């Protein structure tokens, strides 16, 4: 049987009296993309931070590439990577210096070639000499994606990977990530508020609310289950505790949805 890339079992995380993550379990297989969806404060970033080893779980187990991350964190860290708009790279370093730092951190042998390849593919060539702090939000996001792929990770954790990108660049970055995954069979766990991104990239969706997984399935399964035509409407049904259309109570006409109202 193929080794699962991510195995999360009964994970809980509390910050004093706040229960940020409540007993969640899920898996991600190699080559699979799974989305964590949920409103603000649902527990997505906390879950990703625990997978990265930045936060310790209160209870539960996490295996990445078959290894327990609390016991065997260091041997697997060079096989995973992440991108988040909330984690700034050192602002005074140039883009090249930042990428070189991460090449050294991950022990990349042909660092110059790797940086040249990524900056070519992600159109960063003109930015390499610029101080990272001087870049626009969208430019920083592209640098963050380059940093996330620098070690060709087997597990990629993406927190809002296309935040701040214009629709054209966002679409291009999604295609790039998909091509990377097709080539490497990396497992991707993605937290996003962009439902069309999730529909396009993800094989499976975990709907989180108040720290729990309240529903899950493929985008198609969720659309069918809620009798909806897009995930944005499913998201609103769950966020607003609307009844599922397939249950007996849900035969009433459904109220209009204001999609921009998430």
Ligand X SMILES: Nc1ncnc2c1ncn2[C@@H]1O[C@H](COP(=O)(O)OP(=O)(O)OP(=O)(O)O)[C@@H](O)[C@H]1O
Q: Which stretch binds ligand X (CB under 6 A): 37-45, 116-124, 148-156, 236-244?
A: 37-45
- Among residues 8, 11, 20, 80, which is the contact residue for ligand X, using CB under 6 A? 20
Taking CB under 6 A as the criterion, the residue among 6, 11, 28, 42 binding ligand X is 42
CB of 186 to ligand X, least distance (A): 22
Between CA 27 and CA 152 the distance in angstroms is: 21
- Residue 41 or 53 with smaller CB distance to ligand X: 41
Among 6, 8, 34, 46, binds ligand X (CB under 6 A): 46
Q: Could you tell me the smallest distance in angstroms from the CB atom of residue 259 to ligand X?
A: 17
From the CB of 84, what's the least distance to ligand X, in Å? 10
Q: Which of 1, 2, 40, 229 binds ligand X (CB under 6 A)?
A: 40
Residues 136-171: b if buried by 16+ CB within 10 A, e if exposed: eeebbbbbbbbbbbbbebbbbbbbbbbbebeeebbe
Q: Is 45 in the site for ligand X (CB under 6 A)?
A: yes
Residue choice 5, 24, 44, 154 for contact with ligand X (CB under 6 A): 44
- The nearer residue to ligand X, 153 or 211, going by C-beta atoms, is 211
CB closer to ligand X out of 45 and 151: 45
Name the site residues for ligand X (rule: CB under 6 A).
15, 18, 20, 38, 40-46
């Amino acid at each position: 049987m193929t080794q699962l890339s991510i195995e999360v079992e009964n994970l809980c995380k509390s910050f004093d009296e706040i229960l940020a993550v409540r007993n969640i379990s899920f898996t991600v297989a190699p080559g699979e993309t799974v989305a964590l969806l949920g409103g603000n404060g649902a527990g997505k970033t906390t879950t990703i931070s625990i997978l990265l080893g930045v936060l310790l779980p209160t209870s539960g187990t996490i295996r990445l590439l078959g290894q327990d991350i609390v016991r065997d964190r260091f041997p697997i860290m060079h096989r995973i990577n992440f991108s988040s708009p909330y984690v700034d790279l050192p602002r005074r370093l140039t883009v090249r210096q930042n990428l070189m730092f991460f090449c050294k951190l991950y022990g990349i042998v042909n660092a110059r070639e790797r940086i040249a390849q990524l900056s070519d593919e992600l159109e960063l060539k003109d930015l390499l000499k610029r101080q990272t702090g001087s870049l626009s939000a969208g430019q920083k996001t592209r640098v963050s994606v380059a940093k996330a792929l620098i070690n060709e990770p087997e597990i990629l954790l993406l927190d809002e990977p296309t935040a701040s990108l214009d629709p054209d660049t966002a679409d291009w970055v999604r295609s790039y990530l998909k091509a990377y995954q097709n080539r490497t069979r990396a497992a991707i766990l993605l937290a996003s508020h962009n439902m069309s991104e999730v529909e396009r990239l993800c094989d499976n969706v975990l709907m989180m609310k108040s720290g729990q997984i309240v529903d899950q399935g493929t985008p198609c399964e969720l659309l069918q289950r809620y009798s909806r035509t897009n995930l944005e409407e499913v998201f609103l049904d769950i966020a607003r505790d609307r009844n599922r259309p397939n249950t007996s109570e849900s035969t009433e006409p459904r109220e209009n949805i204001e999609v921009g109202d998430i």
